[in-house]
Chains A and B, each alone.
Chain A
Amino acid sequence: MTTTLSSAISWRAVLARPYFTSLVTVVLLLLMFALGSIAYTGFFSLQVVFNLLIDNAFLLVVAIGMTFVILSGGIDLSVGSVLALTTMISAYLLQVWHWPALLVMVVVLLLGAAFGALMGVLIHFFKLQAFIVTLAGMFLARGLCYLISINSITIDDPLYVAMSQTRIGTATAFVSPSVIIALLTLALAIYLAHYTRFGRAVYAVGGNEHSALLMGLPVGRTKITIYAFSSFCAALAGILFSFYMLSGYGLHAQGTELDAIAAVVIGGTLLTGGYGYVAGTLTGVLILGVIQTLIAFDGTLSSWWTKIVIGALLFLFCLAQRLMSLGAEKAANVPGSTPAEGKRSLASARPAL
């Protein structure tokens, strides 16, 4: 009797651990990979893993920016369009104005950050909803793409072509430079989120903006920086995407914002803000990638299964998050509960959007 009780309590304690969702995601990723390895020949190889990274490097960078936004309790719907706009501006500057490649990259990154900062200013100073501001930003960036050109512009700049074709590693296991850039961004983001004042302010704003303000944290500066960083990441992803596609096009990366949000949620970041890990986002992106790879390896499944599976996973993870925060609320009444539980029950008690 006592043993079952204690084991039940320890099980609940494991469930309530802050890293539990992230743990589930990692297990799920390994499971899916194992499943693929058993079912399809040639799936279990290092190159398949590397291809996941190569094909999703841009998504990883977008999702990293999105993680910060969602951690702060906001949302950024403009990232896909900013990505497309970046490919378009880079292509135009390179092909029509013949600017040097490095200068183009610096310019588009700055433009991206400025775009995000502007949205952040609107959101913070005029108390507008992040959702509607970034929605308008999404329209604006896509529209600007078409103002530059309706057609796709091919990029033949030597540096871009070189970045597109370089293979780092051996002949059987290689990655592209984009992967290195994406992983460096991830490392920087982990450092920013967990080891800097800015990171702590992001979590505080996401937990409770009002409390953060009363604590004397620079809420306005933090929020504007978050949106600037998200758009900066989207612009960086746009550069990676232009390496990948070697073209600029207004229709590039449609729906990327949804993939990024899905990756962040699957990665274990709480949608109400204030809780999650940047590293979890990598797992989320990889899960999305594995789904696509599985479907590609199967060959008989059609591409729309990707959408359905992503939707189903999104549902399951939202459900799990909800049930866990409800469980944490109950567990908070049990003596000996950790502060993390209290924090999460607080988060779940906040009104929805």
Chain B
Amino acid sequence: MNSKLFIGQDDHAPAPRWQQLLRHPLLRPLAALAVLLLIDLLLIPGFFRIEFKNGHLYGSVIDIVNRAAPLMLAALGMTLVIATRGIDISVGAVVAIAGTVAAMLIGGTVVMHNGVPEYASNMPMGWALAAALGVALLCGLWNGLLVAGLGLQPIIATLILMVAGRGLAQLLTDGQIITVYYQPFFFIGGGYLLGLPFSLFIVAAMFVLLAVLMRKTALGLFIQAVGINPVAARLAGIRTAALILFVYIFCGLCAGMAGLMISSNIKSADANNAGLLLELDAILAVTLGGTSLAGGKFSLVGSVIGALIIQALTYTIYSLGVPPEVNMVVKSVVVFLVCLSQSAEFRRLFQSITQR
């Protein structure tokens, strides 16, 4: 695959249109998703049926997209980190921390209102959400400082928060699962707007914001430059450290929002299990989307498609009645295949075999 084509800014290629299309980097993830959906279409009756009930859209597709929302957010943040040659394995821990902070600050106490018991939040919800996101930002800042300031390897720098983060979240909740009773909080992860799940709007807003930042400012170019060659980027006058700090903070923020979504969806905060292994799914989504783990090339759309592939895969496995535990085996096989397909050595081997 031609790496120059990756971002899709291919102005001077005289190749025919269909060839350009064939070489488009998003072709493979899209094809994978299409194959999955085709399997669903053939094997699961009524998979594409969408109903309109009580002002909401219902259906398997909506369900998949809705459940993929936290993963999409985490994958967006992870994309930028991976594009700078980094990795953030503390995403799951940040999800747990943000969810815990929000749940603790909102909670829900019974208040008699005109003789009707109602649940009121401990703190105005806006402040509580801001506090939770603030903590997530701090987590990202911590990771960023370790990577950009101290120069630690990203995997180890974020390992520290991954180990300690869940401990901190449990410390906050005293090891308990905190249940939230305040109704408006449930809207983030379970509400509907214009018939569509509200979480989708959050993801869309984040995606648009990021896409504009990457395309309309030089940020995208800088991130790519740092990913391709950090030393050359620094010598070219890019403030590498500040940029790396930014991507980790952004990844923390995305993880925090995913955490809010998850805890709002399950109406509680579980410091031990919320977002467990989410970082791995996010990395997998980013890889599936065609972003190279070696840094440089990245594709935001690809990561979103990757997240959808993972969720569609999970849904398919559940719907087909295959034990859900098989999911892990399938995922691992997918990772192996995707990695092999990215490996130049493997392609050479494959070509020499097929041409014989």
Contacts and interface: CB of A to CB of B under 8 A. Distances in A.
A100 interface: no
B339 A140 contact: no
For A137, A258, A261, A304, the residue with the greatest tally of chain B CB atoms inside 10 Å of its CB is A304
B150 A322 contact: yes
Interface in B148-173: 150-157, 159-168, 170-171
A272 B153 contact: yes
A132 B340 CA distance: 11
B260 interface: no
Interface in A109-128: 122, 125-128
Contact of B331 (A139, A146, A314): A139
B235 to A, nearest CB: 14
Contact of A126 (B151, B157, B329, B346): B346
A352 B154 contact: yes
A140 B287 contact: no
Interface class of chain B by DSSP:
helix
Interface stretch (B9-17, B52-60, B101-109, B319-327): B319-327
Given A135-B280, A306-B167, A311-B163, A150 B328 contact: no
Nearest to B333: A140
Interface in A238-282: 250, 258, 261-262, 265, 271-272
A214 B294 CA distance: 24
Contacts of B330: 143
B336 interface: yes
Given A136-B339, A304-B171, A126 B345 contact: yes
Given A143-B325, A143-B326, A143-B328, A352 B164 contact: no
Given A127-B344, A304-B175, A314 B327 contact: no
B282 to A, nearest CB: 12
Given A143-B328, A146-B325, A150-B325, A122 B167 contact: no
Interface class of chain A by DSSP:
helix
Contacts of B293: 129, 131-132
Contacts of B339: 122, 126, 128, 132-133, 136
A353 B280 contact: no
A318 interface: yes
A27 interface: no
B179 to A, nearest CB: 19
Contacts of B287: 132
Interface in A161-186: none
B152 A258 contact: no
B267 interface: no
A353 B86 CA distance: 7
B230 A351 contact: yes
Given A127-B344, A146-B323, A139 B85 contact: no
B279 to A, nearest CB: 10
Interface in B266-286: 280, 283
B151 A311 contact: no
Contacts of A122: 336, 339-340
Contacts of A318: 146, 150, 152, 156-157, 160
B288 to A, nearest CB: 12
Interface string A292-332: 00000000001111111011101100110010000000000
Nearest to B244: A352
A288 B148 CA distance: 28
Contact of B155 (A75, A127, A137): A75
Nearest to A124: B345
Nearest to B344: A127
B87 interface: yes
A305 B330 CA distance: 35
Contact of B167 (A135, A146, A150, A308): A308
Given A265-B156, A304-B171, A352-B147, A127 B87 contact: no
A344 interface: no
Nearest to A312: B164
Interface string A139-156: 110111011001000000
B328 A139 contact: yes
Interface string B121-159: 000000000000000000000000011001111111101
A132 B335 contact: yes
Interface string A34-67: 0000000000000000000000000000000000
Given A135-B283, A146-B325, A352-B154, A315 B171 contact: no
A139 B287 CA distance: 15
A195 to B, nearest CB: 29
A352 B331 contact: no
B163 A127 contact: no
Nearest to A322: B150
A238 to B, nearest CB: 18
B354 interface: no
A302 B170 contact: yes
A122 B336 CA distance: 9
B335 to A, nearest CB: 4
A146 B345 contact: no
A146 B327 CA distance: 10
B20 interface: no
A249 to B, nearest CB: 13
Given A311-B161, A318-B156, 13 more contacts: A126-B346, A129-B293, A131-B155, A139-B280, A143-B330, A143-B331, A146-B323, A271-B156, A302-B170, A306-B167, A308-B168, A314-B160, A318-B150
Nearest first, the 4 closest Cβ-Cβ pairs linking A and B are: A311-B164, A307-B167, A146-B325, A143-B328
Interface of B: 85-87, 146-147, 150-157, 159-168, 170-171, 174-175, 230-231, 280, 283, 287, 293-294, 323, 325-333, 335-336, 339-340, 343-346
19 contacts: A127-B345, A128-B343, A129-B293, A135-B283, A139-B280, A139-B328, A139-B329, A143-B326, A147-B325, A147-B326, A147-B329, A308-B167, A310-B163, A311-B164, A314-B160, A315-B146, A318-B152, A352-B152, A352-B154
